[in-house]
Chains A and B, each alone.
Chain A
Amino acid sequence: MSLVHASYPTTRIGRAASDVRIFWRRFRKNRGAVFGLLVFTILALAALFAETIAMHSPMEPGVGPMLTSPSKSFLMGTDNLGRDIFSGVIHGARVSLLIGLAAAATSAVIGAIVGAISGYSGGWVDDILMRGCELFQAMPRFLFALVIVVFFQNSVWNIVIVIGILSWPRTARMVRAEFLRLREMDYVLAAKAVGMTTRRIIFKQMLPNVMHIILVTGSLEIGSAILTEAGLSFLGAGDPNVMSWGRILFNAQRFLRRAWWFSVFPGSAIFLTVLSFNLLGDGLNDAFNPRLKRVQRQ
């Protein structure tokens, strides 16, 4: 049996397109992952077109009577200051997505660089960087973020930076593990023999091959970042100038009995979003590494 299909493309672009098609076929089979992708698309649309979809400004008090249940004019009811919760949830999508993406991107960049250098160099450089990794992992991320945000300032940017800086170890470890493996590969040895600088080898040759790992850990990190930000806002440490989902839950705490919609809608939004990113990440993971999916029927 020939290992190469008769119509296997020969050009680089052709091969890439074929890879994508194969990848998509695998991905499509995972229903959870497709659901995740769907939710993500809806969120992105909501974030982009928030002003059009939401009828009121999320921060505007008194657009409706306070604490009314969901109705035609206020799809998700109003909060205790008479603000439209639906608008809050829609705009909150933008906030959460931004924070999640920014924080995940920060941690991905830091993690990738650290992991690459650590994995490639080995020796004492690796040792030191891995100790640093352990240090950051031993510090409870949420508590540390809380300390920083409470003591310094609760602006959105502080939150993003703090989450990003505290989350890189996971990506770093995965990238490092892969680099340890790739380091011995022929094309790397060849590049070294030819005299390419370390920097070029790492960035041009090896990193592109770990992109899928970064992507997977990145999408899982987004969910994690969104949960962390929601937790911070829930405790009151979030940015009061921005209406995020966690912030709405913070306001809702006192009204659990009176206004179930105040807590149910934003909470479900957080839940669904994190769920979708987790499913997406899992789906990507499975689609990239089908050989790991070994399931036996009995």
Chain B
Amino acid sequence: MRSVHRNRWLVVGLVVGLLLGLVGASATAAPVTMVVGLSADPKALAPTDTDNDACPAFRIYSALTQSDENFGPAPDLARSWEVSEDSLTYTFHLHPNAKFHDGTPVTSEDVKFSILEVAAKRVNVANRALLPSIGSIDTPDAHTVVFHLNYPNPEFLNPYYGVGPRPTFIVKKADWEGTDFFTNPFTRSPIGSGPYKFVEWVKGSHIIVERWEDYWGEKPAVERIVFRIIIDPTSMALAFENDEVDWVPYTILMSEVSYLDGLPGKDAEFHGTPCSDSISLRFNLRREIFQDIAVRRAITYAINRDRIPDLVYFGGGIAATGQINRTAFTAPWHNPNIDQVPYDPEMAKTLLDAAGYPVLGDGWRFHITIKHSTFFPEDIQVAELVKADLAKVGIDARIVSLDYAAWIDQTFVNGDFDCNLSSLCSGPVPTAMGRFISTNAVPVAWANDMAFSSFEYDELHRRQSSEVDPLKRNEYLYRMQAILVEEQPMVHLIHRGSASAWNSGKFTAEPESFWKGGLGYFLMRMTGVKPV
């Protein structure tokens, strides 16, 4: 009998010891850690990838420039630079102590390779703007890079579209030369020259980076960053509220912004997205019915754009007056003087009757489909609002929700649609206006799905893409925006905003635009972020 008692106390002792051990383990000192909430895994941490999620990558890699708080270029890998009089030659001087995480120095050869070979493999708007303008790159010594341009490129120093973080991360040439970029192991275990070293990546769960103690530049205060991948926006908002996430860039639920902002120690705000695109309803000009501008005009009259930002985005967005957003990143190029088509359903009905589309026996004038992609979750609601507005003037619009691949296929590649609700984001630079030039009416993703063609527009675009003088450039850009509203190949609905959230009880950011303007997500270093 005594042995039973002894055994019992042994068990109790073990359990207590185990509990103490668990408690003790969690009480050891932890490094200063910031948890960032991402709404999706990045595709890869390699610069060969399309760069939707620059946030983790930009902690690991460096680029020639980073962004200052005015969205202009600030030194990163390049300590200084000179521009020639004719804007055709740019000379960058690299930081002499710049190293990669494995200790090897960053040389001009690495820069040249990264831009000409690696960035060229990525296919997105950035390359469209930057790469064709680069004629050649010279590397006179290990720390000097000279660019010779084919034509003056107004965006060359822009941190978003030029030799900045988003398009041109610098990688080690020796790691990448001659390898297959898709299977190169460095896509998943990246070596960069940025202030943070890659630690681990568990797809669907998290990415961890740690401060690199040998960083050649100004070391940030945050020692460890954990990027938590939380796909469901409600979970993200709840995680932020429960202190499980410190920073949610761009993807905090807009319906929660005012509530979260009101919590002590938490900040949440709306801001613009770095998009020069509006969310628009685009007409397939190949269809006979949409070749009549009266029909397109009528549809524009029928849609109540002003209620969309409030209903769908909880105030985080504005009704669009043209292609280019008047707030945030794209304000310099916005044309404020375009005549608008007001919301007037009666006018819409009159126009439709006059155009020869009266209400028929089944109660409708005609039937069309609105196709959109489920990739952008708010699109469906915008489509529902448009559908309701059109129904009021007698147009039956059937919504067809497609997954991303099918949407690209049906709208851009095959041109098989009536109306395309598109919320593509082309970056905050007007070079994206080039999408609507006639030579872009090709069966390729993101090209001119409407088959819009205007000789004047084409000519203006050609001129503005090589015009360095901002005033003259705006002349062209203003007229281009006006053409898009006059010709009405699409209805500009809204410019969507985004919202970010920041745990101000744990961290401060200097300047505040680091998180409020979205700059820190893509383009600014973490040097201004400090624990409270």
Contact = CB atoms under 8 A, between A and B. Distances in A.
Interface of A: 59-62, 66-67, 80-82, 150-151, 153-154, 236, 240-241, 253-258
Given A61-B311, A240-B401, A254 B233 contact: yes
Contact of B311 (A80, A154, A253): A80
Interface stretch (B76-84, B101-109, B381-389, B444-452): B381-389
Interface in B377-395: 380-381, 383-385, 387-388
A210 to B, nearest CB: 41
Nearest to B311: A81
B253 A254 contact: yes
Interface in B391-430: 398-401, 403, 406
A98 to B, nearest CB: 18
A81 B385 contact: yes
Given A240-B384, A253-B232, A257-B238, A80 B401 contact: no
**Binding site secondary structure of chain B:** helix
B136 interface: no
Interface in B437-467: none
B234 interface: yes
Contacts of B52: none
A154 B255 CA distance: 27
Given A61-B385, A80-B311, A256 B234 contact: yes
Nearest to A251: B381
B388 A240 contact: no
A150 B380 CA distance: 15
Contact of A59 (B255, B259, B374, B384): B384
A61 B255 contact: no
A89 B184 CA distance: 53
Contacts of A153: 400
B307 interface: yes
20 contacts: A60-B388, A61-B388, A66-B311, A81-B384, A151-B403, A153-B400, A236-B374, A240-B383, A240-B384, A240-B399, A241-B387, A241-B399, A253-B232, A254-B234, A254-B255, A255-B255, A257-B234, A257-B237, A257-B256, A258-B255
**Binding site secondary structure of chain A:** loop
Most buried by B among A59, A67, A236, A254: A254
| Contact count band on B | 20 to 34
Given A60-B388, A241-B398, A253-B234, A82 B311 contact: yes
Contacts of A241: 387, 398-399
Contacts of A150: 403
A240 B380 contact: yes
A81 B401 contact: no
B406 A151 contact: yes
Contacts of B255: 67, 80, 254-255, 258
B457 to A, nearest CB: 34
Contacts of A236: 374, 380, 401
A256 B256 CA distance: 11
A59 B234 CA distance: 24
State the 5 A-B residue pairs at the shortest beta-carbon distance, nearest first: A240-B399, A254-B234, A81-B311, A61-B388, A240-B401
A168 B177 CA distance: 57
Contacts of A67: 255
Most buried by B among A236, A256, A257: A257
A59 B388 contact: yes
Nearest to A67: B255
Contacts of B388: 59-61
Given A236-B401, A253-B232, A255-B255, 10 more contacts: A59-B387, A80-B311, A80-B381, A81-B312, A81-B385, A151-B406, A236-B374, A240-B380, A240-B384, A257-B237
Interface string B219-246: 0000000000000111001100000000
A81 B401 CA distance: 18
Interface string B251-279: 00101100100000000000000000000
A254 B381 CA distance: 13
Given A61-B388, A240-B401, A81 B381 contact: yes
Contacts of B387: 59, 241
B263 to A, nearest CB: 13
Contacts of B406: 151
A195 B377 CA distance: 64
Contact of B307 (A62, A253, A254): A62
A184 B403 CA distance: 54
Nearest to B310: A66
Interface in B337-384: 374, 380-381, 383-384
B498 to A, nearest CB: 15
A57 to B, nearest CB: 9
B303 to A, nearest CB: 12
